[in-house]
Amino acid sequence: MTKEPKHCSFCGIEASASVPMIAGTEGYICEACVMLASQVVSSWGKKKELADMQGPLPKPAEMKAMLDQYVIGQDLAKEILSVAVYNHYKRLKHVGSKTGGLGEADQSVEIGKSNILMIGPSGTGKTLLASTLAKIVGVPFAVADATTLTQAGYVGDDVENILVRLLDVADGQISRAEWGIVYIDEVDKIARSPEQAFGTRDVSGEGVQQALLRLVEGSQVKVPTKGRRKDHSGSDSVMVDTSNILFIAGGAFPGLEKHVEKRLQPPKTAIGFHAEVSNPDDKPSLEQMLNATQPDDLKRFGLIPEFIGRFPVLAPLEPLDVDALIQVLTEPKNALVKQYQQLFAFDEVDLEFTQDALVEIAEKAIARNTGARGLRGIMEQVLRKTMFDLPSRTNVQRCIVNAEVIRGEGEIQVVERDGVADGGDLKRLSGGE
């Protein structure tokens, strides 16, 4: 035996007075690695506990019905998501986990994880769907914005911050975080641009994709705790196993649909009287588009094949039209109109929107191209003055908002308790124009 210094066989640190080693027959282990290993092992047991703890998993149809209470339209995406989320948690419950207790299921069939990629314009409900699903299943949920990871792709530690957030939401319980859902927004922005596919090196977007891969494909990730929680071992990081975390990515992927559409409707080459007249409104359905979307389209868009491969479930969302936006305004449990009506009701005032006002709001939102996201801003702007004046008045019974108000061509009509309809009074009160 030579007198070579002892090294930890796990992390390689050299033994010293401050770093004692525990010797095994073949190697050594340092104290820090013992701590980490202990954390990993103790989380194995908790997974089984959690599987027993949770209530029954809602069936896909039940999940969709619950989604319907919060999210307007997007039936296809809801169905796809319900099935994917159901399968994900059914798999976890039955198998426990790779390392947890064994279920009765046939262990020879290993069911792979199916992360989900949502494709649809901004403000159509992607984030809302993901967060509502997490609520339905009762697991921790965290959102990450892929664009903020751009720089960190080089440094390599920002991606772990996604797990810091998830761990926070899980009250520091590692085993809970390990069953959570992470939504990664704007993944289309980390595509490398097609022009840069050859020649110039564009590593930033691709670098982030690579960094995310490690997280998404399931591995033990060292997550800094930065004093957020005191853990008995005194260590400032914990190990989080991402193999059971459901990752949902989303993006607008502008131009992707045109690409697919083109393949669905090859340009008509027939000329002359007998040429078929193709109806421009005769667009392929969302389902047809989805079935036609191939990994190649995403690759051409600038996602790397490994990344695409990790998101085998595609869920398309459609832009919200006027009718859908009016539904968004009025129907969900926490619809904006309901929220403002409640705010006014605290002052004992009825708030009313005429149908044409709702249409006008929806059209304004469409013009802004931000989907349902723009609705709140429009509502705030429309109601601001009234919300400023109203608390100072005592005899107002009703406020009526019509289309002129939305267009900025009129004032909100105020009905007082003695029955006098008055648009001018409020105008005077607020300074008028």
Stretch that binds Mg ion, among 121-129, 266-274, 315-323, 408-416 (CB under 5 A): 121-129
As a whole number of angstroms, the distance between CA 299 and CA 296 comes to 5
**Annotated binding-site residue? 399:** no
**Annotated binding-site residue? 123:** yes
> Does position 58 bind ligand ADP by CB under 6 A?
no
> Does position 133 bind ligand ADP by CB under 6 A?
no
> Does position 124 bind ligand ADP by CB under 6 A?
yes
For residue 79, the minimal CB distance to ligand ADP (Å) is 14
Partner in contact with 362, chosen from ligand ADP, Mg ion, none, beta carbon below 5 to 8 Å by kind: none
**Annotated binding-site residue? 200:** no
Partner in contact with 71, chosen from ligand ADP, Mg ion, none, beta carbon below 5 to 8 Å by kind: ligand ADP
> Does position 315 bind ligand ADP by CB under 6 A?
no
For residue 257, the minimal CB distance to Mg ion (Å) is 18
> Does position 142 bind ligand ADP by CB under 6 A?
no
DSSP 5: P
As a whole number of angstroms, the distance between CA 329 and CA 382 comes to 14
Q: With respect to ligand ADP, which residue has the nearer C-beta, 129 or 396?
A: 129
Contacts of 30 (CB under 8 A, 6+ apart): 8, 10, 11, 13, 15, 19, 20, 21, 22
Among 127, 131, 243, 330, binds Mg ion (CB under 5 A): 127
Ranges within 356-375 binding ligand ADP (CB under 6 A): 371-373
250 to 279: interface string for ligand ADP, x by CB under 6 A: x-----------------------------
- Extract the runs of DSSP E, i.e. beta strands, from 46-171: 116-119, 141-145
As a whole number of angstroms, the distance between CA 352 and CA 400 comes to 5
Among 101, 103, 319, 332, binds ligand ADP (CB under 6 A): 332
Q: With respect to Mg ion, which residue has the nearer C-beta, 58 or 123?
A: 123
Give the dihedral of Cα atoms 321, 326, 328, 332; nearest 10 deg: -140
Which of 429-432's residues contact partners 24+ apart within 8 Å by CB, and which partners? Answer: 429/389, 429/392, 429/393, 430/385, 430/388, 430/389
> Does position 243 bind Mg ion by CB under 5 A?
no
> Does position 189 bind ligand ADP by CB under 6 A?
no
Q: With respect to ligand ADP, which residue has the nearer C-beta, 140 or 371?
A: 371
Give the dihedral of Cα atoms 227, 228, 230, 231; nearest 10 deg: -100
What is the chain's length?
A: 433
**Annotated binding-site residue? 394:** no
For residue 259, the minimal CB distance to ligand ADP (Å) is 20
- Total number of residues that touch ligand ADP (CB under 6 A): 18
Partner in contact with 319, chosen from Mg ion, ligand ADP, none, beta carbon below 5 to 8 Å by kind: none
* 90: nearest Cα among 179, 12, 195: 179
DSSP characters over 253-306 = -TTHHHHHHHHHSPPP---STT-----TT-PPPHHHHHHH--HHHHHHHT--HH
> Which one-letter amino acid corresponds to residue 275?
A
**Annotated binding-site residue? 122:** yes
Q: With respect to ligand ADP, which residue has the nearer C-beta, 180 or 251?
A: 251
Nearest-CB residue to Mg ion?
127
Nearest-CB residue to ligand ADP?
125
> Does position 312 bind ligand ADP by CB under 6 A?
no
For residue 372, the minimal CB distance to ligand ADP (Å) is 3
Strand order in the sheet with 413-416: 350-353, 396-401, 413-416, 421-422
As a whole number of angstroms, the distance between CA 280 and CA 216 comes to 40
Cβ proximity of 320 and 373 under 8 Å: no
Please report, in range form, the residues annotated as the binding site for ATP.
Answer: 121-128
